[in-house]
Amino acid sequence: MSTDALVALDVGGTSIRGELLRPARDAGEVVDLEVLERVLADTPRGGAEPDGDAILDEIERVCKALLDSATSHRVSVGAVGVAVPGVVDTAAGAVHLAGNLGWRDVPVAAELSARLGVPVRVHHDVACAGLAERTLGAGRGVRDLLAVFIGTGIAATLTVAGMPVTGGHHAGELGHVPVREPGLPCPCGQTGCLEVYASARAIGRAYAAATGRDDVTSRDVVAALGTDPAADAVWDDALDALAHALLGAITLLGTERIVLGGGLSLAGDALVAPLRERLLARARVAVVPDIVTAGLGPRAGVVGAALATLG
């Protein structure tokens, strides 16, 4: 797609991050994305349940603010790329299910394009984040890559021999790999899934149960490490579960590098160092790869939405 600039958004259950970007190319490949303008907005909530219509309206507002700014930067916008969670049909431009956004069978691309007067493409947020990390982030130049994004849930993207592995709808659902038997029930219907032990939400809930407090999150756990035995125990249990799942993945895939992204990756070495220790202690067949945190941080979804749209 030929364009001077484009608008890219990463839409989550709590925030909407948007950027006006100008791509730089070398031999036809995108090698950089210059940020011309940024907008960060809260995702509207409709009481206990998400308000899908209000969220669509807010996405429109953010897009229009970025489109309006293009004039002052003297660029033309040829497209808008939107990364969203859930079950996404990129070819059809539809979101079949996004529980955190209150959407079911919503033709998001067509609706936004009609409102904005610009072509819109919709993509899956984790697929976008993985694309961004392997193209411009911490996975750049790595042929066999496992990028794991740990936030409210856990998902991964796979690159094998330099090619992304899609495998249909289910590839990358690391959060639903069973790691305990018998295990805690998961909303997916299975028991013992990684996500119910090692996601940021699960860690916060486990710490709340251990302390009797209801106002804590995974960030509180990380902040209390080394000073609160309850936090240490919750963290250790989560990392044990994560190491179990990752050992299976790297043994199967021969992964060269693991990139850890999502909100939990902000724990940095408090996450990476003990995770590496666990893998080194357990691995007998697999070679433990490099483990690094995401190079693009919270921008990975926006950058990936841009790259996927430029495609």
Cα end-to-end distance, the chain, whole Å: 7
Over residues 67-108, the pLDDT tens digits come to 999 999 999 999 999 999 888 999 999 999 888 899 999 999
Q: What is the pLDDT of residue 26?
A: 87
Q: How many CB atoms lie within 10 A of CB 74?
A: 9
Considering the entire predicted model, what is its pTM? 0.87
Looking at the DSSP bridge assignments, the partners of residue 42 are 15
What distance in Å separates the CA atoms of residue 234 and residue 231, rounded to the nearest whole number? 5
- Cβ-contact 283, 95 below 8 angstroms: no
Instruction: Spell out the domains of the chain, with CATH numbers in brackets.
Output: 5-129+299-310 (3.30.420.40), 138-295 (3.30.420.40)
Q: How many residues does the chain have?
A: 311
- pLDDT given for residue 308 in this prediction: 96
Digits of tens for pLDDT over the chain (311 positions)?
445 899 999 998 889 999 999 999 888 888 999 999 999 999 998 767 789 999 999 999 999 999 999 999 999 999 999 999 888 999 999 999 888 899 999 999 999 999 999 999 999 999 999 999 999 999 999 999 999 999 888 999 999 999 888 766 567 889 999 999 989 999 888 999 999 999 999 999 999 999 999 899 999 999 999 999 999 999 999 999 999 999 999 999 999 999 999 989 999 999 999 999 999 999 999 999 999 999 998 899 999 999 999 98
For residue 44, the model assigns a pLDDT of 92
Secondary structure class of 64 (helix, strand, coil): helix
